């Protein structure tokens, strides 16, 4: 898959750790985030904008966004049509974000989980599939809401 990734200043170290892990896989990674050696404080919506735009437009299959908690990135990313972003804090939410919500963007908090946990969650999120059936129908209802609000 083609995966866009970005982080703000709070998430830049975890981002490089996740990129190192993705380098061991067959996925193609596009890094749109803050350089690891930068000491500049930046605004997370600017980075959510870039990654969510890539996913929303279909230029990337998935997105990974990292900030202090994952929350701000998630709020911003979910403004984009066809983006289903989820903050993931444990194995269960990592799996459910795919199984029930078909989440195409994962949001991680560098201040809430350690590096190894983050990798574990990314692995689960990359390999788990949406369970289809009633779960697909519910995801489609989200798309219908988007179309109604932003025709």
Contact footprint for ligand RB5 (CB under 6 A): 8, 10, 44, 67-69, 71-72
Catalytically annotated residue among 9, 27, 60, 100: 100
Nearest to 29, CA basis, from 14, 43, 39, 18: 18
Rounded to whole angstroms, the Cα distance separating 41 from 129 reads: 36
Catalytic status, residue 27: no
Would you say 105 and 86 are in contact if contact means Cβ atoms under 8 Å apart?
Answer: yes
Q: Minimum Å distance from CB 15 to ligand RB5?
A: 12
Which residue number, 71 or 142, has a Cβ lying nearer to ligand RB5? 71
Residue nearest to ligand RB5 (CB): 72
Minimum CB–partner distance for residue 66 and ligand RB5 (Å): 8
DSSP-assigned letter for residue 3: E
Give the shortest CB-77-to-ligand RB5 separation in angstroms. Answer: 11
**Residue of 9, 60, 67, 74 marked active site:** 67
Q: Which is nearer to ligand RB5, 30 or 71 (CB)?
A: 71
3-state helix vs strand vs coil in the chain, percent to 5: 50, 15, 35
Looking at the Cβ atoms of 11 and 119, the one nearer to ligand RB5 is 11
Where helices occur in the chain by DSSP H, the ranges are: 12-22, 44-56, 71-77, 91-99, 115-127, 134-149
Q: Which is nearer to ligand RB5, 44 or 125 (CB)?
A: 44
Side-chain-side CA neighbours of 132 within 13 Å: the count stands at 1
Mark whether 9 is an active-site residue: no
Q: List residues with catalytic annotation.
A: 67, 100
């Amino acid at each position: 898959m083609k995966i866009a990734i970005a982080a703000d200043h709070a998430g830049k170290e975890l981002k490089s750790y996740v990129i190192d892990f993705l380098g061991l896989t067959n996925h193609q990674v596009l890094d749109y985030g803050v350089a690891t050696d930068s000491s500049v404080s930046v605004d997370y919506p600017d980075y959510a904008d870039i990654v969510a735009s890539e996913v929303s437009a279909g230029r990337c299959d998935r997105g990974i966004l990292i900030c202090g908690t994952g929350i701000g990135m998630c709020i911003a990313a979910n403004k984009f049509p066809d983006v289903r972003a989820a903050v993931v804090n444990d194995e269960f939410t990592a799996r459910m974000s795919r199984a029930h919500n078909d989440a195409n963007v994962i949001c991680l908090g560098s201040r809430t989980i350690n590096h190894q946990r983050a990798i574990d969650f990314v692995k689960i999120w990359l390999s788990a599939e949406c369970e289809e059936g009633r779960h697909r129908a519910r995801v489609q209802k989200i798309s219908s809401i988007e179309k109604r609000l932003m025709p």
